[in-house]
Structure 1
């Protein structure tokens, strides 16, 4: 009975961690999309701020502008029980005409 109960508790913890990973991935994707849109408009400072506010706590934000393309990647810190899985989201946008790049 004790072994079965500990197995159930472990599986419950694993399932909750997996749900947390899905939520963190969705937050990272939303943050990356918002930042890409703002960066494409030429507002890099607000893009960094928006990504930091929308991303999971402790996430790394990367905004790259190459020619007329904007690539934004948000990577969350590793989750417990999921062997270092780092939820991430990436978004792409095209610079709007007249947008200034820094």
Structure 2
């Protein structure tokens, strides 16, 4: 025998036995629901940051490739970059490097923003005018 009482069992005082976990679902829901919402918002922020980083990488690659034959890399990068991005193109010898940075909103408006960045490099094409950042 397991020691459990049947549902209709009456105690020695003649009253029906009361279970001790009454209302526990409501308490667990009240504690778990805010944690679940916070986890969902963190996941949405992470997906937004990864998507923005992909866009930054595309913009940096296009800016570096445009600057390598002598075109304006910053103008080209601006067309591909997410809104509010900061684009920096530098030329060092025979190498062009483009960096794109953009702030990403986190869980709330009062929290600091994350800064997502991506960098791409390209070789300067020989025989063309000097690259323009």
Fold agreement, TM-score > 0.5:
yes
* 2:59 paired residue among 25, 31, 34: 31
Which secondary structure does the structure 1 equivalent of 2:126 belong to? coil
Superposition misfits of 4+ residues, deviation over 2 angstroms: 81-85
Q: 2:37 aligns with which of 9, 16, 30?
A: 9
Which residue of 2 is the match for residue 92 of structure 1?
121
Bigger radius of gyration: 2
Q: Does 1:63 align with 2:89?
A: yes
Bigger relative contact order, structure 1 or 2 (CA pairs below 8 A, ≥6 apart): 1
Gaps of 5+ in 1: none
Task: Name which of 31, 36, 50 aligns with 1:22.
Answer: 50
* Aligned residues between the structures: 100
TM superposition score normalised by structure 1: 0.89
2:98 to 39, 51, 72: 72
The SS at the match of 1:76 is strand
Deviation at 1:55, TM superposition (A): 1.2
Choose between structure 1 and 2: higher helix proportion.
1
Structure 2 residue runs without a partner (length 5+):
1-28
